[in-house]
Structure 1
Amino acid sequence: LFRISGERVEQYSGQMSIAERELLKQLHQQFKQYHMFKGII
């Protein structure tokens, strides 16, 4: 899921409902934060 490029996410998001789009954004943010947190340890 997270290997999908930014451009593809934009493409897919056009076909998604707003709720799905927001959920994907939240997942992406959590994923980034997790990796940053992991990098600190």
Structure 2
Amino acid sequence: MSDSTGRISVVGIGPGGYDHITPAAKNTIEDAEVIVGYKT
């Protein structure tokens, strides 16, 4: 069994566009290796 750990972050960007999210949310998204979501 592996001792490695990972991290899952759940980030909501709300009803606005990418320019309206918080700096912490933006940094989390930019640092992510994998992003799961949907496009409307």
TM-score, structure 1 as length reference: 0.35
TM-score, structure 2 as length reference: 0.36
Which structure has the larger Rg? 2
Which structure shows the higher helix fraction?
Answer: 1
Which structure carries more relative contact order (alpha carbon 8 Å, separation 6+)?
A: 1
